[in-house]
Amino acid sequence: FRTDGFRFGWWMTLNELVVVSFLAFLFEWAPAPVGVDEVTQKALSYSAQVRRLVALLACALTVSQGAGSASLAFVTFPLKVAFKSCKLLPTMVFGVALTGKRYVGLEYLAAAL
């Protein structure tokens, strides 16, 4: 699956961002479910700081997704998937180093396969 002249990687990402943002907007401003009291509803609302962090994360993920889609102009789809799959081991290592998360040996073995 490699098409010479593939040029719509960023267009695919823009469409995905618009759809996901629209659905997130609907979710965020949807009326509270029936039976939810005011205290619970207030606890479920997000602060401005959390919204900024989520927006920053969304931008980072959008750039990552767009760059991956745009790379299809140069590499095959299976190669893109193989490289994307290789992110698991470094993620596990950083999880251990930065947060102290622990994994059992079987999880490392499964990630290496």
Q: What is the pLDDT of residue 42?
A: 67
Confidence band for 4, pLDDT divided at 50, 70 and 90:
low
Q: Indicate whether 86 pLDDT > 70.
A: yes
Contact 69, 17 (CB under 8 A): no
Instruction: State the pTM of this model.
Output: 0.55
Q: Where do the H-state alpha helices sit in 8-86?
A: 9-28, 38-44, 48-70, 77-85
Helix (H) or strand (E) segment spanning residue 113: none
